[in-house]
Amino acid sequence: MTPPLDDLLDRLHVVALPMRVRFRGIIVREVALIDGPVGWGEFGAFLEYEPPEAAHWLAAGIEAAYGEPPSTLRDRIPINATVPAVGADEVPDVLARFPGARTAKVKVAEPGQSLADDVLRVNVVRALVPTVRVDANGGWTVDEAVSAAKALTADGPLEYMEQPCATVLELAEVRRRVEVPVAADESIRKADDPLHVVREGAADVAVLKVAPLGGVRKLLDIAKQIEIPIVVSSALDSAVGIGQGLLAAAALPELRHACGLATGGLFVEDIVDFLAPVDGYLPVGPATPDPARLDALAAPADRRQWWIDRVKACHCLKVE
């Protein structure tokens, strides 16, 4: 049940989290946090998302703040390191923020960079971490993805290529033409029908994110209908959102792959002390923001009002 708007706004805290490196083109991550009667929720839809899409993110935050969590099957989750599209010389410092991680996801297909840049970055990661996956965020054409698969596996295997192309049809074509497994992210979380990519045989792995899908229970419901392995990942969440991702991963009947839930290391400051992975795992549990950090990281008044207006625009929309 959606809470009254006035109650929701009374519980809202808007924070601006500085980042260590540019990620998705931003160096400050703004999110709205909800101090709910059950726990803390997060509304952090990326700024360019319009209300119909952002409303799912608000639904996830409301669920966390007002709803009862599901039961869990595990108390810690294996995580992957996340390597942005940095220079190869910066890779060791990035990986140092993910102690014990045995899997790394490397961003590729960055605008302004070349495939040679991607190969160099991946090979430096491969020398330090045994299992490597790449994420193109839909940045390649089919032919580019096929060429990239060949180049990126010349010196070692890839666990999978995440969202090499933008459309489901393109993913299916890439999957037919390469031996590297294909994972779908945007084709699930940004789709009107999240199961379409699976029905079309366009993915070997499903990357699911709590916030874009509308909450933990919605993610678990989709997971029941998917017969391919699932990776739970972060949407560049604060510690509050990461806690919900860990909860979702802990509630899955099966978890074959490391999850992308250690992105807290990308922030200079968060609303709690950074919890570094231990031996490549993060413990399952909610994050309760430090009041002093909420004050110190509070967004300026005009940005707080922007988020209030956004909550109002999303609150009136029905999320299926």
At 57-70, the pLDDT tens digits run 999 999 999 999 99
What's the CATH fold of domain 5-68+291-316? Enolase-like; domain 1 (3.30.390)
pTM of the model: 0.93
Tell whether 162 is in a known binding site.
yes
Give the pLDDT of residue 85: 92
Q: Is the pLDDT of residue 123 over 80?
A: yes
Average pLDDT over residues 94-112: 94
Let me know: does 135 contact 104? Beta carbons within 8 Å: no
Q: pLDDT at position 318, please?
A: 81
Terminal alpha carbon distance of the chain: 12
302 marked among binding-site residues: no
Residue 159, annotated as binding a ligand: no
For the CA atoms of 40, 47, 85, 186, the dihedral, rounded to the nearest 10 degrees, stands at: 80
Structural domain spans, the chain: 5-68+291-316, 76-283
Closest CA to 81 of 218, 233, 246, 254: 233
- For 168-185, the pLDDT digits (tens) are 999 999 999 999 999 999
| Alpha carbon 88 to its chain's center | 23
Burial of 50 (0-12, 13-18, 19+ CB in 10 A): exposed
pLDDT band, very low/low/confident/very high, at 190 (cuts 50, 70, 90): confident
- The confidence band for 266, taking pLDDT boundaries of 50, 70 and 90, is confident
Among 20, 79, 74, smallest CA distance to 278 is for 79
Q: What is the pLDDT of residues 39-59, one digit of tens each?
A: 999 999 999 999 999 999 999
One CATH from 3.40.50.2300, 3.20.20.120, 3.40.50.300, 3.40.50.720 for 76-283? 3.20.20.120
Q: Sign (positive/negative) of CA torsion 185, 191, 193, 196?
A: negative
List, for residues 215-230, the tens digit of each pLDDT value: 999 999 999 998 899 9
Tokens of 267: 């922030």
Which pLDDT score, from 0 to 100, does residue 62 have? 98
The residues that are catalytic are 107, 209
